[in-house]
Structure 1
Amino acid sequence: MLKVNNINVYYGAIHAIKGVSLEVKEGAIVTLIGANGAGKSTILKTISGLLRPKTGEIIYEGNKLNTMEAQEIVRSGVCQVPEGRRVFANMSVLENLELGAFLRKDKAQIKEDMEKVFEKFPRLKERISQLAGTLSGGEQQMLAIGRAMMSRPRLMLLDEPSMGLAPLLVKEIFSIIKEINQSGTTILLVEQNAHMALSIANYAYVLETGKIVLEGPAKELAESEQVKKAYLGG
């Protein structure tokens, strides 16, 4: 579904991503784990068109994403849930969700999808007219995921969904990510909580200082001594 072929990404003179290749198969949850500053978010931003690779290419369903504008990438079925939620703080929950569907014209389906979001996140329905900036961290994360669902993505890019959340909420968010995947959305998950990420993913890549140093089925990586030492506190 998605193939990242040997991309190199720079921030000015800084070589942030060094020859990274990865693949996301349709229907899978693929996770990218690594320490803070390893370049995980940079890869997601490059896939979603917010950054451009200097060399290499990104192919999604046969189309070259690295030559497309960000809104075209969303229209083609790829949507990112950014790190730190990035909800529109001065707009209501409802307005945030409506913005998720801004490229769509199918009003009846939009209404249907809104109901699906409220089924997954009943708390958002209770706070439908509340300003997004007044929600708790967990509710804002739910809103950010709900907003992405409104674009009907076939591939969802999740950037650090557990960041700053209480352990109980982390469990809830991860079980919702699993549900979204089971209902047909492919997921590429960037996460510092390697333990949780590996517990729900099918396949995993380990990123260190802009390079992939390890990859394999998530269950195998969770058992690997190298990964246990570096990321699972083992």
Structure 2
Amino acid sequence: MLEVHDLSVAYGVIEALKGISFAVEEGEIVSLIGANGAGKSTTLRTISGLLRAKGGRVAYKGKEIGKLPPYKIVELGVTQVPEGRRVFTRMSVLENLEMGAYTCRERGGVKAGLKRVFARFPRLAERKNQLAGTLSGGEQQMLAMGRALMSRPEILLLDEPSMGLAPLLVKEVFSIIKEINADGTTILLVEQNAHMALSISGRAYVLQTGEIILSGSASELMQHPEVKKAYLGD
């Protein structure tokens, strides 16, 4: 479904990604794990069209998307939930969700989308007229995910969904990610909480200073000595 081949990205003279390659099959949850600064967010931002690659290619369903603007990539079915949530703080919950539905062309599509999102996130329904900036961190994460789901993505790119959340809320958010996947949305997950990421993923890749150093099934990587030592605290 998604193929990244020999992808290189630089910020000036600093190489952020050094020719990485990986793939995501339809229906999977695939994680990219690694320390801060490994290139995880850069990878997602490049797939989304927010950054331009220096070399390599990104293909979605066999079609190269590396030179498309971000809104075109969303229209194809690839949507990102950004790191730090990035909700529109001075707009209501409802207005934030409506912003996520800008690709919707069907009559009644926005209304149907809101119904689906409110069924998935009842707390957002309760707070639909509240300003997004007054929500808790967990509620803002749910709003960012709900806003992304309004575009009916086929693949959802999640960037650090657990960041800044209390452990109980992290469990809730990851449970919701599993439900979204079970409903048919493919997930590419970037996450520093390697234990949580691997616990819900089928496969994973380990990024280190812009290179993929390990890959395999999530269960294999959970038992890998390097992963246990560096990311699982064992």
TM-score (norm 2): 0.99
Is 1:17 aligned to 2:32, yes or no?
A: no
How far off is 1:115 after superposition? Answer: 1.0
1:110 corresponding residue in structure 2: 110
| Cα distance in 1, alignment partners of residues 223 and 111 from structure 2 | 44
Matched residue count: 234
Q: Over residues 40-87 of structure 1, what are the superposed CA-to-partner deviations in whole Å (9 max), with x where a residue is unaligned?
A: 000000000000111100000121110211110000000000000000
1:159 corresponding residue in structure 2: 159
Is 1:45 aligned to 2:45, yes or no?
A: yes
How far off is 1:29 after superposition? Answer: 0.2
User: Which AA in structure 2 matches 1:25?
Assistant: E
| Cα distance in 2, alignment partners of residues 221 and 145 from structure 1 | 27
1:68-87 counterparts in 2 under 5 A?
68-87=68-87
How far off is 1:98 after superposition? Answer: 0.3
SS at match of 1:44: helix
1:178 corresponding residue in structure 2: 178
| Cα distance in 2, alignment partners of residues 205 and 123 from structure 1 | 33
| Cα distance in 1, alignment partners of residues 67 and 19 from structure 2 | 18
Aligned Cα root-mean-square deviation (Å) = 0.6
SS at match of 2:108: helix
| Cα distance in 1, alignment partners of residues 165 and 120 from structure 2 | 18
User: Which AA in structure 1 matches 2:103?
Assistant: L
How far off is 1:106 after superposition? Answer: 1.3
2:125 corresponding residue in structure 1: 125
| Cα distance in 1, alignment partners of residues 120 and 154 from structure 2 | 18
- Runs of 4 or more, structure 1, over 2 Å off, are none
| Cα distance in 2, alignment partners of residues 181 and 71 from structure 1 | 23
| Cα distance in 1, alignment partners of residues 107 and 128 from structure 2 | 19
1:132-143 counterparts in 2 under 5 A?
132-143=132-143
Q: Over residues 173-205 of structure 1, what are the superposed CA-to-partner deviations in whole Å (9 max), with x where a residue is unaligned?
A: 000000000000000000000000000000000
1:205 corresponding residue in structure 2: 205
How far off is 1:110 after superposition? Answer: 2.2
TM-score (norm 1): 0.99
Q: Over residues 28-49 of structure 1, what are the superposed CA-to-partner deviations in whole Å (9 max), with x where a residue is unaligned?
A: 0000000011110000000000
How far off is 1:223 after superposition? Answer: 1.1
User: Which AA in structure 1 matches 2:53?
Assistant: P
User: Which AA in structure 1 matches 2:231?
Assistant: Y
| Cα distance in 2, alignment partners of residues 207 and 213 from structure 1 | 6
2:193 corresponding residue in structure 1: 193
How far off is 1:105 after superposition? Answer: 1.5
1:92 corresponding residue in structure 2: 92
SS at match of 2:170: helix
Quote the sequence identity (%). Answer: 65
User: Which AA in structure 1 matches 2:197?
Assistant: A
